[in-house]
Structure 1
Amino acid sequence: MGVYQLKREQTFQQPLETLWDFICDPKNLKKITPEYMGFDITTENLPDEIYPGMIISYKVSPLFGIKTTWITEITQVKEREFFIDEQRVGPYKLWHHQHFLKAIPEGTLMEDIVTYQPPMGILGSIANKILIKQKLEEIFDYRHKALVDLFGK
């Protein structure tokens, strides 16, 4: 029923190119995902840089340690500005994740906008209020800290 959005911004003193090169290598996603998620990329021969149309498959345990398959497609890429990934198979009815980078005087501004819809109609909306929203915020809090650990503020 409900469609929700999570927005996050983070600034770095690193140049845009450094952050772009990191976030555009799909293998780096594991480095910024909490261990308890059991995140494993299952796509074989994964290239070091994303491209439009790229399909990436994962095994992930978002809730209660239950492994699920998650398949995303990189639908758009504008070099050194943004890329978008969308779920093709996975736990959400809708998952649309926009990643933006912008050079600023202090370094780089990174912005994530996730638009999502849980499955199961009204039950999914209730689950979002009770659990899903909090879990997504926790995951993005972890990413924030992991990126600071890697690149500084």
Structure 2
Amino acid sequence: MAFYQLKKEQFINASLEEVWDFISSPKNLKHITPPHMGFDITSDNKDDKMYQGMIISYIIKPILGIPTKWVTEITHVVPKKYFVDEQRIGPYKLWHHQHILEEKNGGIYMKDIVTYEPPFGFLGAFANYLFIKKQLNTIFNYRFNIVNNMFRTSANQV
């Protein structure tokens, strides 16, 4: 079993309440996903605040514009500290995404830790080497820029 981790940190010059309100709302997922990914929430709860046990379904086009159904469950929530989403249906064999907030230096450090395993064993490992890792970095760099512009932060990516 080959699994991988992607870790990203960003300093946001905003209050904990502002950042939490933004990241804990599913309706903002489309806004922070690159347009070429064709991201659309298909579940009815996109306007709700996240809660433990929440199921969110969406369509995303990660490869060659082919629509893929993705369903995640919010498995852990500690308000204004962190939440975790885990894939239940989708393109990965394993997807575990931690969103962590920490007040520090007059702002918020936001950390994303994604643990994932592509499907198809060694073929998935090869696909990760060829394009999956690069694509995930592109998505998270896009998110960094959107959040940076939204909160007009001093671009500090750790």
Q: Quick check: 38-47 or 26-35, which moved more?
A: 38-47
Give me the identity figure in percent: 55
Amino acid at match of 1:74: I
Distance 2:113 2:12 in 1: 18
- Gaps of at least 5 residues in structure 2 are 154-158
Amino acid corresponding to residue 123 of structure 2 in structure 1 = L
Q: Deviations over 1:108-139 (max 9, x none)?
A: 10000000000000000000000100000000
Number of residues paired by the alignment?
153
Q: 4+ residue runs of structure 1 moved beyond 4 angstroms?
A: none
| Cα drift, residue 72 of structure 1 | 0.1
TM-superposed CA distance for 1:47, in Å, is 3.9
CA distance in 2, matches of 1:141, 1:61: 18
Measure, in 2, the Cα distance between the counterparts of 1:147 and 1:108.
12
Distance in 2, matches of 1:55 and 1:48, equals 11
How many Å separate the matches in 1 of 2:83 and 2:20?
10
Alignment RMSD: 0.8
1:143 aligns with 143
| 8 Å Cα contact 1:43-1:56 kept in structure 2 | yes
CA shift for structure 1 position 32 = 0.4
Match of 2:156 in 1: none
State TM-score, norm by structure 2: 0.95
Residue 46 of structure 1 aligns to a residue whose secondary structure is coil
Name the CA distance, whole Å, in 2 between partners of 1:123 and 1:38: 25
Query: For the residues of structure 2 that align with 1:82 and 1:45, how far apart are their CA atoms?
Result: 20
